[in-house]
Structure 1
Amino acid sequence: MPEGNENLNSRVLEAATAGTELRLADATDFDWDEAGFVTEGTPAKDIEAAFGEAVTRENRYTGSPALFIFLKDGKVAKAIRIIPDAFFGEDAKKKYGRDVVLTPLDGQTGFLNWRE
């Protein structure tokens, strides 16, 4: 089920590299009402517990450093592989609404926090 999305991936990379905020809804062109992510190595059972559905056939997610999971009406609408390794594990396996913003640490580049 995980897929690539060059636009989203490049927007995330740009925000992480430049240390700028990115409103996730502005970087997507499909309908969703909640989103979250998991990091590489997350057990499949933990992903299913957090987002309500299996999104990988592997025992652990290993397709990229991060996997963004988008939900619509409580069901997985898309699971998108994200190449930049720019996210903190403490923000993972949580659901965020459409107002979520990927925010850099104060004046720093390289990492983004998920904030509503």
Structure 2
Amino acid sequence: MGPVSDDTLDKALVAQTTAAAPRLLRDLTGFGWDEVMVLSEGTTADEIQSLTGARIVKGDRYVSSANLMVFRSSGQVVKAVMITADAFASPDLRRWFGRDVSVGPGPILRLT
């Protein structure tokens, strides 16, 4: 399964950069999942596979300038979405968050 675009999710996350209140990420997605991880450009394919349990990118590394949000359900990757908002806080990268995660507002998005 390779990365895909999700225009609705992408626009909702971009809107969070100017929003006044946090939103539950699950309310922004139109599919089922119970864990999410954000990865950045340059992450190697081996790192992605080690972190997610799936071979998501072809080639040696993820080279898109978009962030990659990997969604899992019951430990299996269900979707890997390219997100154009390059606004996620560094401490939130490469770690799993559960279904109750919120996306904070502001120019740097925080997952809490």
> Do they superpose with TM above 0.5?
yes
Which residue of 2 is the match for residue 90 of structure 1? 91
Q: Is the 8 A contact 1:39 1:89 kept in 2?
A: no
Output the TM-score relative to the length of structure 2: 0.92
Query: Partner residue of 2:11?
Result: 10
Instruction: Give the RMSD, CA atoms, in angstroms.
Output: 1.2
Cα offset, 1:91, TM superposition: 1.1
The answer (yes or no) to whether the contact 1:24–1:100 under 8 Å persists in 2 is yes
Sequence identity (%): 33
User: In the aligned structure 2, how far is the partner of 1:86 from the partner of 1:96?
Assistant: 17
Kindly indicate whether residue 108 of structure 2 is the aligned counterpart of residue 114 of structure 1: no
Structure 2, unaligned runs of 5 or more: none
Aligned residue pairs total 111
Runs of 4+ deviating beyond 2 Å: 17-20
Decide whether the 8 Å contact of 1:12 with 1:22 is kept in 2: no
Taking the aligned partners of 2:20 and 2:44, their CA distance within structure 1 comes to: 30
Deviation digits for residues 25-66 of structure 1 (CA, Å, limit 9, x no counterpart): 000111111111101111111111111111101211122331
Residue in structure 2 matched with residue 39 of structure 1 by the alignment: 40
| Ranges in structure 1 where 5+ consecutive residues have no aligned partner | none
Secondary structure, in 3 states, of the residue corresponding to 1:114? coil
State the shift of 1:17 in Å.
Answer: 2.7
Cα distance in 2, alignment partners of residues 61 and 22 from structure 1: 27
In 2, the alpha carbon distance for the partners of 1:97 and 1:82 equals: 19
Partner residue, 1:22: 23
